[in-house]
Amino acid sequence: MMNVPSSFFGGARGFASVLLLAGGVSAISACAWIGHDGGDGGTPKVVLCSSSWLSPKGFGLENAVDGDWRTVWKAVHRNSGGARDCELVLDLGERRKIFGFVYIPAPYSPKWRVGKYRVDISDDGRNWSSKPIASGTLATAFKGIWPNAKERMSKVLFEKPVEGRFMRLTAISAGKTAGAAEFAPILDPRKYPWKGETLARLKGTRMAPSVHLGFHVPGDSNSYYVEVVPDSSQPGTYFMAIGFGGGYFGIQELGDGRKRVLFSVWDSHHGNDSKRVPSDRRTLLVAKGEGVTARRFGGEGTGGQSFVPFDWKIGERYLFLVKAKVVGPRTEYSAYFRPADAERWKLVATFSKLADGRALRGFYCFVEDFKRDFKSFHQAKRAEFLNPWSEGVDGVWRPVTSARFSRDGNPNTNIDAGAESDGAFLATGGATENNTTKLWGTVKGWTPGVRPLDLP
C-alpha cells in the first residue's frame, strides 16, 4: 500500500492509499495493511498483496497515483499461461462522493495497459458493490513515436455519483502484464486531474517539437543545395539540411555526444521490417565515400542508410548538395558534403531508388529532437539554413527565396523560425518563443547568396 496526498485527487488534505490485488479480493486480508494515516507527510509504502504479481524496479504502485503521467506502474505475473485479472485498489482515507475516474495509459508498449476493465466501490475494502459501477475498455498505450493529437486519455463519468472509501479498478483478463501511467478518481466534476488535456499534449513534454521549413520550389529538380550553421545543439539533435520525397541528408549529434553526417533513402515499400521488402523494391547502394558506413535500416520505414563520423562545430558553416539522376524507373540520389573552409567535396553515398522515373521533389529541412528523455524538451536547439538553391530539370539553377514554417504533431509552442540575411533559421526546445514567424506562416525576405561554382 502507498500513501499519496489526496489533494491531487481534488479533496482535502490527507492521503489516499493504493493496493495491488491478484486473483480475488480475499487477498486483501493477507496484506500488511498500513492504512490511512491522515497526516501531512510520511514515507510512501507499497505492499504487494499477492506474490503472483510483481512490479519491476522503478515501476511500482506509487507511479499509478503520483500525479505524474511520466512515471509508470507495471505489473508482471510470475507464471505464464492463461489470462488473469489484475486489481488496483485506492483507499481515499474516508467515505467520499466519487463522480468517475481518469486513466492515462503508459507511454510505452500497449502491453502495459488495463484495456477491458470494471470499477467497484467499497466502504471497508472487503465487501464490494454487487454490480460494477462502470465497465468497458480503456485507452491503450500512446501510439507510435509521435503524439496523436486526436487521442485523449480515458475519462469515465459514472451514470450517477457513488459514495465509498475504496475504489477498485480491475484489468479483466490482463494476461501476464498490466499497468498504467495514472489512475485517479474524479471527486469534483468541475475540477478533475488533467481536465482538457490530450495525450498528445502530455506526451509532448517528452521531447521538443520537430520544426521544418518547406522551401517553395516549382516542379521537379535535378539538384538541391543549402548551407547550414548549427547555432546550438544538444545530444539527440538532427539538423536535417536537405530533405526530399524519399530521403534526407544532414548532421546529427547522437545521444552520447558523438557527431556524424547522415544520408538515408527510403524503399519504395510500406512497412518497418527491412527483411520483408521485395528485392525489386529495395533501395540499392551504388557507391559510398571513404570511411562511410552503409547499411539497410528498418523500424521507421525501411531503406538504405549511410553515415560517416564528423566532429562538426557550433557556429561553423557546412555545405550540402543532393543530385538526382534518372535511370529508367529508378533514380540515383547522390549526397555530397564539405565544410565551407574545405577545398574538396566528399561523396557520402549514392543510392538507387525505384522512383517511377522522377528526379527531386519536396525540398525541405528540419531540426529534430530524437533524445526524447523529457530533459531534451527543456534544451534549446537552433540552426540556420542559408543560401538555398535548386537546379530544375531544365538545367537552370534558381535561388530559393521563401519557405513555409511547420511543426510535427507535438503541440508545444517553444518553437520559432525566421529570415536571416541569406536564408532562414529554425529553433525548438528550451526557452524558445514563437516571436518571429507564426506557425504555418511563410518565411521570406532574405537575399540569395552566390551559388558555389565548384559543385560536383
Tell me the whole-structure pTM to 2 decimals: 0.68
**Host H or E run for residue 132:** none
- Of 47-56, 201-210, 333-342, 387-396, least confident by mean pLDDT is 47-56
Q: For residue 335, which phi and psi values (nearest 5 degrees)?
A: -110, 130
Contact 336, 226 (CB under 8 A): no
pLDDT in tens, 351-384: 999 998 899 999 999 999 999 887 899 999 999 9
- The share of the chain scoring above pLDDT 90, in percent, equals 50
Nearest to 181 by CA among 116, 133, 114, 118: 114
Q: Which CATH class is domain 2-203?
A: mainly beta
Sign of CA dihedral 402, 408, 413, 415: negative
Q: Which residue has the higher pLDDT, 295 or 137?
A: 295
Measure CA 52 to chain center. 33
Question: Which letter does DSSP use for residue 433 in this model?
Answer: -
Domains 2-203 and 211-444 share a fold: yes
Lowest-confidence region among 52-66, 242-256, 268-282: 52-66
Q: Structural domain boundaries of the chain?
A: 2-203, 211-444
What's the pLDDT tens digit per position in 156-203? 888 889 999 888 888 887 667 888 888 888 888 777 666 666 665 666
pLDDT for 195 equals 64
- End-to-end Cα spacing for the chain: 68
User: In angstroms, rounded to a whole number, what is the distance separating the alpha carbons of residues 273 and 365?
Assistant: 26
Under CATH, which architecture does the 211-444 domain have?
A: Sandwich (2.60)
Please give the backbone phi and psi of residue 285, each rounded to the nearest 5 degrees, phi first.
-80, 125
Q: Which residue has the higher pLDDT, 297 or 111?
A: 297
What pLDDT band is residue 73 in, cutting at 50, 70 and 90?
confident
Sign, Cα dihedral of 240, 365, 264, 142: positive
Residue that has been written with the C-alpha cell 562538426 in this structure: 312
Cβ-count burial of 33 within 10 angstroms (0-12 exposed, 13-18 middle, 19+ buried)? Answer: middle
Write the DSSP symbol of residue 199: H
Q: CA-CA distance, 382 to 229, in Å (whole number)?
A: 9
* Residue 456 CB contacts under 8 Å (≥ 6 apart), including other chains: 321, 323, 336, 345, 347
